[in-house]
Amino acid sequence: MMGLASYLIISTILFICGVIAILARKNIIAILLGLELILNASALNFVAYTRFLNNSIDGHIFSLFIIVIAAAEAAVALAIVLRFYQIRETVHIDDATQLQG
């Protein structure tokens, strides 16, 4: 029951949920939530592979770095969102199109 497959299924569900959150939501923060989900899905995959495929510690370390990067990304992204909100008074993703070609 607690095999590799179950973990991979869980992580796939998380990933798919993340993708849907990213594509379906129009609120930037909600999109960030989706990103977190995707990151977590990959981290879970790493740890799961470590457990089932080889017993080296590198998978753990990789997921640790993913956590670190997620934290940094959350901090910076939210700061940008706040700044964006201060300037534009909106968090609608389609309003952030200043960089269009």
Partner 1 sequence: MFDLTLFFISAVLTVIGAIMVITTKDLMHACIYLLASFLGMAGLYLTLGADFVAAIQLLVYVGGVVILMVFAVMLTGGPHAQKQNKFGMIKTALMGNIRTYTIGGLTAVVVLLMMVKLYISIFKNYTAGELPNYLPTVERIGKSLITDHVLAFEISSVLLLGALIGAAIIARPRKNRIN
Partner 2 sequence: MDYTIANIAPIVLLPFLAFVIGSFTAKKFPKFTGIMVCVAIFGSFLLSARIFADFVFNQYSADYYIHKTFTWFDLGPTFKLNLGIYIDQMSAMLLLMVSGVGFLIHLFATYYMGEDKRYARYMIYMSLFTAGMLGVALSDNLLSFFMFWEVMGFCSYSLIGFYYEREAPGDASMKAFMTTRIGDVFFLFGLLIVWNVTTQVNGQGSFTFVDLYNVIANGGFDGQMLLGIPLATFAGLCFFMGTIGKSAQFPLQIWLPDAMQGPTPTSALIHAATMVAAGVYLSLRVYPVLEAGHLLVFVSYIGAITAFGAATMALVQTDIKAVLAYSTISQLGFMVLGVGVGNYNAAFMHLITHAVFKACLFLSSGSVIHSLHDHHTGGHVQEMPRMGGLRKKMPYTAFVMVICSLAISGVPFFSGFVSKDRILGEALIMGLKNPVYSLPMVLGFVAALLTAFYMFRMIFLTFYGAPRDQELFDHCHTEKFSFNRNLPLLILSLFTLGLWYSGSLTGQGLVKFPGVENKEWFQTLIEKPDAHHLAKFKNYKSQAWGKVDVKPAIDFSKSHYDPTHGLSAEEAHHAHTLHLYGAVGSIFIAFLGIFLAYLMYIRKSLNPGWWATTFSGWYQTLKNKYYFDHFYIDVLIKKVLFKFQDFIAWVDMGIWDRIFIDGWANVNNFFSYWARKFDDVVVDTIGVDGTGAGVRFFNLVLRTLQSGKIQFYFVVIFLVMASYLLTLRVA
**Contacts to partner 1 from residues 10-69, by CB under 8 A:** 10, 12-30, 32-34, 36-37, 40, 43-44, 47-48, 50-53, 55, 57-58, 60-61, 63-65, 67-69
- DSSP characters for 29-58? HHHHHHHHHHHHHHHHHHHHHHHHT---SH
Q: Shortest Cβ distance from residue 100 to partner 2 (Å)? A: 3
Cβ(48)–Cβ(39) below 8 Å? no
Which position among 1, 2, 23, 87 is part of the footprint of partner 2 (CB under 8 A)? 23
